[in-house]
DNA sequence: AGCTTCCATCTATGCGCTTTGATTGAACCC
DNA sequence: GGGTTCAATCAAAGCGCATAGATGGAAGCT
């Protein structure tokens, strides 16, 4: 690691001023061909690479977009996907703790075995950044990220995309005064950030209507972990479709994030005991649906024979599960690329008002609703 | 986007010098409690965030690690995983072009549906970076990346991890003079980069021995796309195990990357016609194994009944395929975290010689070799 | 020839921060 | 009380680059 060469070194070797060196890299047309060659030769010979820090400082822009994502440990959705994979791979008879024996690497538990929601979104961001000549900086956080964590990212990008519930609202508001911030969900509060979301309500209404009209179901219960704005919007779609059809709206709480599988087992048991098992569980997210399919299988209840189950997201896990999962697929990659696009536009030319986009979703009719079995 | 506040603004508001502001953020113990509070209050009031560019320039380090990865379009391994997913989801009778109808988003073809090799490695890099207080910068490339592409990344990180075949060797060598570079594979040439790889030869030997000793197979053919150093090392392991057992070494070329499925179909057809179908195909990578399992199924040949198939990598796709794939699992997450770790160590305290690590692999005995069916 | 234009290049400044070495008081000691 | 120490703070010098404005010279025009 020899001392890093700078514009000064290149300029000296090429016999020009540093301005000329800078120009040959940033505005080649302003430099005569012959001198340009000389500069490039010198740069090559010295192994020169422009320092992004200096460049960013001088220009007042970094040329990078940040994505603030989850950290991956202990998230229940990840758990659910893990379990789904095990069930699929080993058949319903196998307990899910077999997982570790499949992939165990003592020092290296592998928590991430399906491309989940945020993975696909990240891919979209990457693609758009690349297309527009930006680079991507990845940060990870959890609700309680410290100021320092986030400054580490926010200080080095021109725009920031964040998943919901990864950063405290107050910090987000502060950051958004300096750089554009786009949030990837329906609004939890009116914080005037840029925003890209999907047709949560419309999609869920569509799905619910499918169960009502195509399958003639009437006892349909909505389930799913509370606390996310997306969940509320989806519930609204379900509720609307049920009202229109003159059906009762029913929803079940979840006691908590500890051992969700056992929690769902208890719920199923209680419902069956009281004779109130619904004809369908409409779940707020795929991960929850997989959890319910698992629990129903354990209880010896056939899906979709006795009870239908649906999800929302469109994870690959729902495509390889048995039965395959009827769900609403979000355009996750597009979600990411749209977010990046908004940010880059804002960097270039700020708009006075927050940009809000809602992307269409798509009903994926598969087996778990009772179709095609 | 009001004018971004700087140390000067904070210093003025807090009634101190900029040095004191800097110290309260970087060496809090050096400033008196009361002034520290004053500075932090001022910073909060102004919405101050330190500029990473300025900081990087002043410190001579950026605090970021780069990962140079593939771009995702048109890669055959991705194709193979896609097809495996379809086969799994729809049963062997369904053609794989059904895929698009499953997930179609006109404007947004979704090429990335399983966590492939590089996804898992990336996760490892992310984890280690986070643990050590670095941020991650993602770049994507293809063999022909321009100098400018790569400078964009290399100029803004303290260390760079690269997948093999993503950057021309000469550029890599140049970059490695300025910042540590670690390559994620066995060496293609002796370029004196840092390196982390896995026991390619040993793992493949182990797998081959399993087929020979446990299943008593004797006609075993090695297949897999050429051109990667990893492939060569794996072939060596296979060849050694065969030699030790006194068996013939056989390998099949692949005609090219265009329509690999048809290519494999032809290969199978030709082998069967000539009566030389082997008892097992030992594949250099999981993706290739999935391709062979597909082709064999299309030809009406039972796996593992008539022919065994094995892979190498340990992708999730091989866990959900039918039959499940016997393979060698690489510790991919650990591969990534080790790479990041090497880089960060080098940034802190450069070592005189290239650091080379080889990680252990693990034999995953599943169904496609003939076990447990 | 004398004028203007225009192009290629250079000089000089500043981007926001870190860090060294200097300065100032206050506390301490004999 | 004079000298010593130490903690807290500050002034100033870069870090490597972009860029506005200055400069000089060649070409074009009358």
**Per-residue pLDDT averaged across B214-218, rounded?**
96
What is d(CA B54, CA B65) in angstroms, rounded to the nearest whole number?
A: 18
Buried b (16+ CB within 10 A) or exposed e, B14-25: bebeeebbbbbb
Q: Is the pLDDT of residue B248 over 50?
A: yes
pLDDT of B96? 31
How many H-runs (helices) and E-runs (strands) does chain B carry?
15, 12
Give, in words, the CATH class of A64-197+332-359: alpha beta
Other beta carbons within 10 angstroms of residue A165's beta carbon come to 16
Strand D positions within 7 A of protein Cβ atoms:
7-12, 14-21
Query: What is the pLDDT at residue B320?
Result: 67
- The residue with tokens 């982390």 is B196
User: Of the segments B168-182, B250-264, B266-280, which one has the largest average pLDDT value?
Assistant: B266-280
Q: Tell me: the pLDDT tens digits for B298-353?
A: 999 999 999 999 999 887 777 767 788 999 999 988 999 999 999 999 998 888 88
pLDDT tier for residue B74 given thresholds of 50, 70 and 90: very low
User: Within 7 Å: CB of A51 and strand D?
Assistant: yes
Residues of A in contact with B322 (CB under 8 A): none
CATH architecture of the domain formed by B200-330? 3-Layer(aba) Sandwich (3.40)
Q: How far apart are CA A282 and CA A299, in angstroms?
A: 18
Q: Is the CB of B249 under 7 A from strand C?
A: no
Share of chain B above pLDDT 90, in %: 51
- B5 closest-nt by C1' vs CA: C16
Say yes or no to pLDDT of A83 above 70.
Answer: no
Q: Which CATH architecture has domain B64-198+332-359?
A: 3-Layer(aba) Sandwich (3.40)
| pLDDT tens track for B106-123 | 222 223 334 567 777 888
Fold topology of A200-331: Rossmann fold (3.40.50)
The residue whose CA lies nearest the C1' of nucleotide C18 is: B58
Domain boundaries, chain B: 1-46, 64-198+332-359, 200-330
Contact A53 B57 (CB under 8 A): yes
Question: Token pair 């400078």 is at which residue?
Answer: B151
SS3 at position A65: strand
- Please tell me which residue, A322 or A126, carries the higher pLDDT value: A126
Rounded distance in angstroms from the CA atom of residue B16 to the C1' atom of nucleotide C24: 15
What's the number of CA atoms in the CB half-sphere (13 Å) around residue A57? 17
The mean pLDDT value of chain B amounts to 82
A122-153 pLDDT, tens digit each:
888 988 998 888 999 988 765 455 666 777 78
Contact A283, A254 (CB under 8 A): no
Chains A, B: CB contacts within 8 A come to 190
Angle between the N-to-C axes of helices B7-14 and B18-26, in degrees from 0 to 180, rounded to the nearest 10: 100
| Closest protein CA to C1' of nucleotide D9, residue | B20
Q: What angle do CA A200, B107, A84 make, to 5 degrees?
A: 55
Asked if the Cβ–Cβ distance from A102 to B319 is below 8 Å, we say: yes
Q: Chain B residue closest to A61 (CA)?
A: B53
> CB-CB: which of B51, B119, B154 is closest to A49?
B154
Phi, psi of A253 (to 5 degrees): -80, 165
State yes or no: pLDDT of A73 exceeds 90. no
Q: What is the pLDDT of residue B146?
A: 65
Q: Confidence class of residue B230 from pLDDT cuts 50, 70 and 90?
A: confident
Within this chain, domains A7-50 and A64-197+332-359 share the same CATH topology: no
Tell me yes or no: is domain B1-46 CATH 1.10.287. Answer: no
- Out of A125-134, B107-116, B279-288, B359-368, pick the least confident: B107-116
Contact between A155 and B71 using a beta-carbon 8 Å cutoff: no
Q: Does domain A7-50 have CATH number 3.40.50.300?
A: no
**Per-residue confidence band for A171, with pLDDT thresholds at 50, 70 and 90:** confident
Report the pLDDT value the prediction gives residue A92, as an integer from 0 to 100: 35
What integer is the mean pLDDT of B142-155? 70
Categorize the per-residue pLDDT at B147 as very low, low, confident or very high, splitting at 50, 70 and 90. Answer: low
């Amino acid at each position: 690691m020899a001392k890093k060469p700078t514009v000064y070194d290149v300029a000296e070797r090429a016999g020009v001023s540093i301005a000329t060196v800078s120009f040959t890299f940033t505005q080649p047309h302003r430099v005569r061909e012959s001198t340009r060659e000389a500069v490039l030769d010198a740069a090559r010979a010295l192994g020169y690479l422009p320092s992004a820090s200096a460049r960013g400082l001088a220009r007042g822009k970094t040329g990078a977009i940040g994505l603030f994502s989850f950290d991956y440990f202990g998230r229940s959705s990840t758990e659910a996907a893990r379990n789904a994979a095990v069930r699929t791979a080993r058949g319903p008879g196998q307990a899910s703790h077999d997982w570790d024996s499949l992939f165990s690497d003592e020092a290296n538990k592998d928590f991430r075995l399906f491309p989940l929601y945020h993975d696909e979104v990240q891919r979209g961001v990457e693609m758009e950044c690349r297309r527009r000549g930006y680079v991507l900086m990845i940060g990870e956080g959890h609700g309680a990220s410290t100021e320092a964590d986030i400054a580490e990212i926010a200080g080095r990008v021109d725009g920031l995309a964040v998943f919901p519930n990864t950063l405290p609202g107050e910090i987000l508001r502060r950051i958004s005064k300096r750089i554009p911030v786009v949030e990837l969900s329906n609004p939890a509060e009116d914080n005037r950030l840029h925003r890209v979301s999907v047709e949560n309500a419309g999609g869920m209404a569509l799905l619910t209507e499918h169960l009502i009209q195509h399958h003639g179901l009437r006892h349909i219960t909505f389930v799913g972990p509370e606390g996310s704005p997306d969940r509320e919007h989806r519930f609204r779609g379900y509720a609307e479709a049920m009202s229109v059809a003159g059906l009762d709206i029913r929803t079940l709480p979840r006691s908590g994030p500890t051992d969700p599988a056992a929690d769902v087992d208890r719920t199923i048991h209680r419902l069956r005991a009281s004779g109130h098992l619904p004809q369908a569980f409409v779940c707020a997210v795929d991960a929850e649906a997989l959890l319910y399919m698992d629990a129903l299988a354990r209880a010896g209840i056939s899906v979709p024979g006795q009870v239908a189950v649906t999800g929302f997201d469109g994870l690959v896990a729902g495509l390889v599960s048995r039965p395959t999962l009827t769900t609403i697929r979000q355009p996750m990659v597009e979600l990411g690329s749209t977010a990046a696009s908004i940010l880059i536009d804002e960097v270039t030319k700020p708009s006075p008002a927050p940009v809000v986009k809602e992307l269409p979703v798509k009903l994926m009719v598969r087996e778990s609703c009772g179709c095609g079995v």
